[in-house]
Amino acid sequence: MPGYKGHIAGGIVTGALAIGSAAVVHRFTDSPLQLSALMGFCLLGSLFPDSDTDSKGQNLFYAIFVLMDGFLIYRHAYKLAAWLGLFAMLPALGHHRGWTHSWPAMLLVGSPILIVPSVLLGTGNITLFIPFYLSFTLGYFSHLLLDRII
C-alpha cells in the first residue's frame, strides 16, 4: 500500500483528469482559481481516508484544509468556512481503515460540497458545485484504488 506520496501522486493524476474534464464540460479554463480549487478538492479526497492517522499525509490534508478555510474567511464566506471546519473533524469519528476506507464513504463524504452551498446559496446553484464534488470523489477513488480496496 502506498504512503502519502503515492496518494498525492494519485490525487494529482486524478486532479489533472478533473481539470481536463471541467475545462471541456464546464469551460473552467478562464479561471485559474477554479482550476486550483478542483486540484485542491481532488488532493483532499485522495488524502481523506488516511487523515485519521498521525502521518505526513494527515499534516498535508489539514494544511490544504487550513488554506481553503483561510481563503473562505478572507472572502467573508464565514458560513462555508464553518462548514469546512466541521467537515475537517469527520475523520476523528472512527478508527483507521474503518468507515473512511469504504465505497459508501467515498460517495457520501464529499456530499457536503454539494449540500451545504446549495442550502446556503439556494438550490438553483447545486450545479456549480458538481465539479468540486466529483473532483473530491475522484481523489477519494484514487486512494481506495491504490489501497486495493476497490
- Compute the distance between CA of residue 9 and CA of residue 46 in angstroms, rounded to an integer: 9
Select from 60, 64, 84 the least CA-distant residue to 72: 84
What's the whole-model pTM score?
A: 0.78
| Cα distances (Å, whole numbers) of residue 97 to 41, 68, 105, 147 | 21, 26, 11, 10
* Mean pLDDT calculated for residue range 73-83: 89
Rounded Cα gap, residues 50 and 117, in angstroms = 26
Could you give the CA distance from residue 150 to residue 147 in angstroms, rounded to a whole number? 8
More confident of the two residues 29 and 86: 86
User: Which amino acid is residue 146, in one-letter code?
Assistant: L
Burial class (CB in 10 A: 0-12, 13-18, 19+), 53: middle
- Report whether pLDDT(123) > 70: no
pLDDT over 80 (residue 133): yes
Length of the chain: 150
Q: pLDDT category, 95, cuts 50, 70, 90?
A: low
Q: Which of 44-48, 76-80, 88-92, 134-138 tops mean pLDDT?
A: 134-138
Q: What percent of the chain has pLDDT over 70?
A: 89
pLDDT band at 150 (very low <50, low <70, confident <90, very high): low
What end-to-end distance do the CA atoms of the chain give, in Å?
Answer: 13
Choose among 118, 115, 128, 124: nearest CA to 34. Answer: 128
What is the count of structural domains for the chain?
Answer: 1
- Range of the structural domain that residue 57 is part of: 4-146
Residue 106: the pLDDT is 92
Return mean pLDDT, the chain: 82
C-alpha neighbours within 13 Å on the C-beta side of residue 14: 29
Q: What confidence score (pLDDT) does residue 27 get?
A: 63
pLDDT value of position 28:
60
Give the pLDDT score at 26: 64
